Every structure is written in structure tokens, then in C-alpha cells.
Amino acid sequence: MSLASGSPEPIPTDIPPDPESGIEVAVVAYPEDTDTAVASGLLPAGKPRSTFRRGAEVFWENKLAVAGVAIYVFMILFCFVGPHIYHTNQLQVDFAHQELPPSAAHPLGTDANGFDVLGRLMIAGQISLEVGIAAALLATIVGVLWGAVAGYVGGFTDSFMMRIVDAMLSIPTLFLALVVVSMVTPSKPVLILVIALTSWLTTSRLVRGEALSLRTRDYVQAMKVMGGGNTRAVMRHIAPNAVGTIMVNATFQVADAIALIVALSYLGLGIRPPQQDWGGMLSSGVQYVYDGYWWLIIPAGFCIVIVIAAAIFIGEGLRDAVEVRLQRR
Amino acid sequence: MIRRVLQAVGVLLIVTVITFVLLRLIPGNPAIAVMGPQAYRNPAAIAQFDRVYGFDKPWYGQYWLWLSSLLHFHLGYSWKLNQSVQSLLSNHLPKTVFLVGISIVLALLFAIPIGMAQAVRRNKFTDHFFNGFSTIFYAMPAFLLGLLLILIFAIKFPIFPPEGPQGEGVGVLFTDFSALVLPIATLTLITIALFSRYMRSSVLDNLTEDYVRTAKAKGASERRVLLRHVLRNSLIPIATLLGLLLPALFAGALITESVFNYPGMGYLFYQSALNQDYPVLLGITVVVALATVVGSLLADIAYAVLDPRVRYVSQ
């Protein structure tokens, strides 16, 4: 197609072979494809590997993704098991020990109420992680249902449902969440609900697209010709093929949900004191920035960044693993 | 094309329904919220309030009132600030447009070369370096980045003031330029992180296209192929992306403005959320949604103009 649109000047015939030509790129891009075609049972070369096995191998080869998983395992242990090992007082305000710099007794110092920052980090992390992960799961469920119904039913229902998604997408999630949160007193379940109900939109678009394209695939059509019903089409063919995409999206949803809960709490409209999440720790630390009390900001900020980055790494690793056809390494 | 415009109008109509429903969901009596609990003693005042603001009408009457006042650019009247929403916006909106506009331009100036360099040196050091850079700034919430910049450039080394330009009117933006540096830097860094990832994958996609091979076969230098062919075509999806990322940029602006006390629209929105000033909240929501819908419409039109392969066929 692009060849036809070339310029009218005659093409020179004696071009020296360019070692960095696009041809080389194209060759590099596909060797895995022939490889997988052989490996997936065209030749009786040993045991055929399942798509899942191959995906898992790709995932474990991705160092960043494995690091992401390690970060999550560590953070979950840190937040939920940590307080049982590292006992600190997080209930009684202790003005005798407020705003102490890091020392042997308090590895990350103490805050304005005399709470140990390391211990506070663990308890605050429980809220950030719980709300983030639960909201992402709920958003995924809502988005999958909405998108699957729209994509499978089609027609007017589909376009109406998708216009609603368009309309909600045109309002920034943070704005929508702030309006809702300013109306109700936020608790953990309320925040999970608010975040989920404002962030299922991208998932629904993705799933709708997936449902639309899968429905017309040859193997689904072939199965229908052979007498399979709708339930079989969805359960046996469409769902397993869409599940990878959904998982990848859910991982990115975790990153976004944690970013949102942390931002809401930072703005003072998320988790309310005396409970605090990482965003709340940051926002109460802000008042002391001018005194140079870095330990009230850096530790909580560090936790937020690595948890969100880890979710992105895992999501990218999963995407590589799912898109077996796009493996270009 | 007409179909696309109609679609945009439909989406905007749904936005007004959503904001209207949100306005109805507000718990309690709006008259009490505005006039204070003392108003309970004065039912006549409540009735008066309901009549003036149309709360005595059935829901469809109220929706019609809201829609027709929107069509006349009446966005409502603040419950707390004793001003109409449009006069508040005329003061705050230009500042946000200024902040977001400058950040987008600066971000594009950095993100386009970065994305290209990453794609050309794919899986080499340059790629990994900028990939790490963009992941960190993508994962870093805007308020944290703003705080770190304040901590370093306003407190440790007092080069720039920790607050945005203060005061009424748009003029202050041009008198107090050093105060703009940190807010703009915050939003720009985050926007670069957003754009450079897309630029990288857009260039990568284009590098495998046939026309690249054709150009090289005709003896065009690497530089010419990249700058004249690949760059141009890679920019097309970025135009669409600008429309799509507008909501994210507004959200970033809200956080940035609240960190730096920069009196723009996001700051106004945040203060209104704290004060439960719903007419302002919903007025801004409608304006932001309008900006996004129009933005993505323009992006689609630009896409069709820039890329001859895309044509909207009316069905």
C-alpha cells in the first residue's frame, strides 16, 4: 500500500546493501512465531507446551515483573504481618516523643503525635493496599459485565451503554470521585465503592472490544455451526480468551486505584483521621516540610511510588505473557 | 463526520444527566445547606429558596431548568462564595488553561525526542534509562513530586518560591514568573512520562512499516528517514492522544494547583469540594467534560486531516 504512494522519481538500481535496513527489523521481529508454531504441536517434538506454560515462562523471564511480584509480596508481609513482629504504640498520643529524627529506637523517627513512623507506615499501608486492590477487583467485575453485555448484545443497547461510558470518561476520575466523596462521609467500604464506580470505564471498553472481535472469530463461528449454544461460546471460548486481557487490565487498575485513594486522602477527603493511609501520612507531614522533617514525607512517598510502579511492572509482564503472538525477543 | 459530531452532542447530553443526578443525590435539604440550620425555624424562607432555585418543581422540570440555564451559559450560583459560577470561572479558568497549555507544549518538546531516541535505540541503555525515568514519574503522584520539588528547590536551596503566583486576575501570572516554575515543572514532568511512552510505541510501530523500507531502499539517509517519514507519521496518534489525555491532565492540574496554592480551576474545585459548594463543583465538571469532548472531537478531525488513510464515511 505504501509502495504505491512512492515518489515519481526513478528508483536507483545500484543501492549498496544497508546493514541497518528495515528488512533486518522485520526478520528480527518474527522468529518466535515460527518457533511457537512448531512448539504448539505441528511437529511431534516432545510434549506440547500449553499457552499458560509459555506465558508463565515469558513472565518469569521479565526481571521487572518478577521484581514487581517480589515488591507486592514484601509489602503485604510488611503491612499485615509486620505489626505483629514490630510492636509500636499507635493509639496513645505521646507528646514527649514527637517529631524525633530517626534513631535506634525509632528507625524512621516519630511524627507530630509521637507515633513511630515505621509502625505507622505498616498500618497505613494496610488501608492503601486493601482499598486499592479491592476497588480494582470491583471495578474489573463491573467493567467486565458492562462491556461483555454491550459487546455481546450489540445494536442500540451497545451504542447507548458505550455513550454512557464516553460521557463518564470525559469527566476526570479524580473530579468525579471528589464530588461523590464530598457528599458522603468516607469510610473504607465507601471509598472502595466510589473508586470502583468511577474507574470501571476503561475495562468495559476493552472487554467490549474483545467480546466483539472474539464473537466473530472462526473457531467460535465453527463451534456454533456444530451446534454449540451461547453459554458454551461464552464459557468455553470467549471468556478464556478474554481473561488474559482482563487480568492485565486489572493489574493496571490496582495501580490507578492506589494512586486515587492516596490522592483523595492527601486532599483530606479520603480516609479521615484518626485512621491514616499513606496519602494521609503525607498530607499531615506537609506542615512540617518547612522544618526539614523529611522522614514524615519520604518513607510514605517511597512506599506509594514502589507499590504503583510494581503494579505497572507486573501488568507489563503479564501483557507480554498474554500476547504470545507479540513476543519479539 | 456529522455522525461523529452528533455522537459528541449525545455524550454531552449524558454528561448533563450525570451531573444532574449527582446534584439530586446530595443528602439533606439544599436550602438548609445554604442558609444554615437556623433556617428550620423559617419555613417561608425555605419555600422561597426552593422557588428561586426551582427545587419545588418535579425532577424533569428541574432537569429542564438546569439544561436550559446551561444552554444560556448560566452555570449556577455559588452557595458559599457569593458569586456566579461563570464569574468564578472567568477568574480561575484562564490560569488553569495557561498552566496546562505551557506544560503540554514543554512536555511535547521533551517527550517527542525522548520517545524517538528510545525507539531507535530500543533495548539499549538509552531506552532503559528513559523507561525507568518515565515509570518513576508515571508512578509518582503529582502531589508527591510537587512536595519533593518544594523540599529541594524552595527549602533546601531557596531558588523558587514554594507557592504559585497569588492574587486575583490573570495579570499576576506575568508579574511573578519565578513562582510559576515549580508548578509548571511538576505538571510537565508528569506529562512527559505520559507522552514519551506513547511516542516510543508509536515510533516503533512506524519503523516496521513498508514505507520506511522503501525510503531506505531509495537511498535516504537514516536521519532523513527518521525526521521526514517516521516522525511525521508517529505524531498522528499523538494528536488523538492529546484529546484522550485531557482528563488526566486536568486531574494532574487539580493536584498541582492544590499543592502550590495556585488559584486555578482545579484549586477552586478542590476548595469547593471541601466546602461542599455543589453548584461550583458541578459547573466545573460540565466545563471540563465539554473541554474533553470538544478536544477529542478536534483530535479526531485532525487525525482525518493528517492521515489520508483515515476518512470518515457517512453511513
Per-residue pLDDT of chain A (329 residues; tens, 9 = 90+): 333 443 444 444 444 444 444 444 444 444 444 455 444 444 444 455 566 677 777 777 777 888 888 888 888 888 888 777 777 777 677 666 666 677 766 776 777 776 777 888 888 888 888 888 999 999 998 888 888 888 777 788 888 888 888 888 888 888 888 888 877 777 888 888 888 888 888 888 888 888 777 777 777 777 777 777 777 767 776 666 777 788 888 888 898 899 888 888 888 887 777 788 888 888 887 777 777 677 788 888 888 889 998 888 888 888 877 776 444 43
CB < 8 Å to A166, chain B:
7, 11, 14
- Furthest CA-CA distance within chain B: 87
Q: Residue A316 and residue A268: Cα distance in Å, rounded?
A: 32
Of residues B46 and B293, the one with the higher pLDDT is B293
The whole-number pLDDT of residue A329 equals 35
**In the predicted structure, residue B315 carries a pLDDT above the cut 50:** no
CB < 8 Å to B7, chain A:
163, 166
The whole-number pLDDT of residue A134 equals 92
Mean pLDDT, residues B230-250 taken together: 80
CB < 8 Å to B211, chain A:
2-3, 5-6
* Minimal C-alpha gap between A116 and chain B (Å): 21
Closest chain B residue to A9, measured at CA: B218
Which residues neighbour A277 within 8 Å (Cβ) at sequence distance 6 or greater? A124, A125, A127, A128, A131, A261, A262, A265, A270, A271
Average pLDDT of chain B is 79
Q: Residue B186 and residue B159: Cα distance in Å, rounded?
A: 16
**In the predicted structure, residue B141 carries a pLDDT above the cut 80:** yes
For a pLDDT cut of 90, what percent of chain B falls above it?
0
Question: Residue B172: pLDDT band by 50, 70, 90 thresholds?
Answer: low
The whole-number pLDDT of residue B245 equals 82
**In the predicted structure, residue B182 carries a pLDDT above the cut 70:** yes
Give the CA distances from residue B78 to residues A204, B26, B47, B192, in Å, rounded to whole numbers and listed in that order.
35, 15, 19, 36
Mean pLDDT, residues B81-105 taken together: 82
* Residue in A181, A268, A286 nearest the CB of B147: A286
User: By the CB < 8 Å criterion, does A182 face chain B?
Assistant: yes
Give the CA distances from residue A96 to residues A65, A106, A113, A238, in Å, rounded to whole numbers and listed in that order.
44, 14, 9, 62
CB < 8 Å to A167, chain B:
11-12, 14-15, 18, 289
The whole-number pLDDT of residue B128 equals 82
* Residue in B135, B209, B251 nearest the CB of A172: B251
The whole-number pLDDT of residue B263 equals 83
Closest by alpha carbon to A178, among B248, B283, B281?
A: B281
* Residue in A11, A164, A313 nearest the CB of B218: A11
Q: B10–A163: do the CB atoms touch at under 8 Å? A: yes
Closest chain B residue to A169, measured at CA: B247
Q: Residue A155 and residue B159: Cα distance in Å, rounded?
A: 60
Closest chain B residue to A171, measured at CA: B289
DSSP readout, B203-238?
HHHHHTSHHHHHHHHTT--HHHIIIIIIHHHHHHHH
Q: A170–B292: do the CB atoms touch at under 8 Å? A: yes
The whole-number pLDDT of residue A325 equals 45
The whole-number pLDDT of residue B261 equals 82
The whole-number pLDDT of residue A104 equals 67
* Minimal C-alpha gap between B170 and chain A (Å): 24
The whole-number pLDDT of residue A138 equals 92
Check: CB of residue A236 under 8 Å from CB of residue A222: no
Q: B251–A174: do the CB atoms touch at under 8 Å? A: yes
Q: A182–B273: do the CB atoms touch at under 8 Å? A: yes
pTM for the full predicted model: 0.79
Q: B11–A2: do the CB atoms touch at under 8 Å? A: no
* Minimal C-alpha gap between A254 and chain B (Å): 12
Q: Which ipTM value was assigned to this complex?
A: 0.81
**In the predicted structure, residue B241 carries a pLDDT above the cut 50:** yes
**In the predicted structure, residue B268 carries a pLDDT above the cut 60:** yes
Q: A297–B147: do the CB atoms touch at under 8 Å? A: yes
Rg (CA), chain A: 26
Q: A170–B276: do the CB atoms touch at under 8 Å? A: no
End-to-end CA distance of chain A: 28
The whole-number pLDDT of residue A29 equals 40
Q: Residue B62 and residue B69: Cα distance in Å, rounded?
A: 11
Closest chain B residue to A159, measured at CA: B7
Check: CB of residue A81 under 8 Å from CB of residue A90: no
User: By the CB < 8 Å criterion, does A246 face chain B?
Assistant: no
**Window B:242-271, CB contacts with A under 8 Å:** 247-248, 250-251, 254-255, 258, 269-270
**In the predicted structure, residue B56 carries a pLDDT above the cut 70:** no
The whole-number pLDDT of residue A99 equals 67
Handedness of CA A305, A310, A313, A315 (dihedral sign): negative
**In the predicted structure, residue B80 carries a pLDDT above the cut 80:** no
Closest chain B residue to A265, measured at CA: B143
Q: A163–B219: do the CB atoms touch at under 8 Å? A: no
DSSP character at residue A115: -
- Of B78-92, B158-172, B185-199, B289-303, least confident by mean pLDDT is B158-172
Q: Residue B116 and residue B284: Cα distance in Å, rounded?
A: 37
pLDDT digits (tens, 9 = 90+) for B217-233: 777 777 777 777 778 77
- Joined together, the cell numbers standing for residue B149 give 520539588
- Joined together, the cell numbers standing for residue B3 give 455522525
User: By the CB < 8 Å criterion, does B282 face chain A?
Assistant: yes
Q: Residue A65 and residue A73: Cα distance in Å, rounded?
A: 12
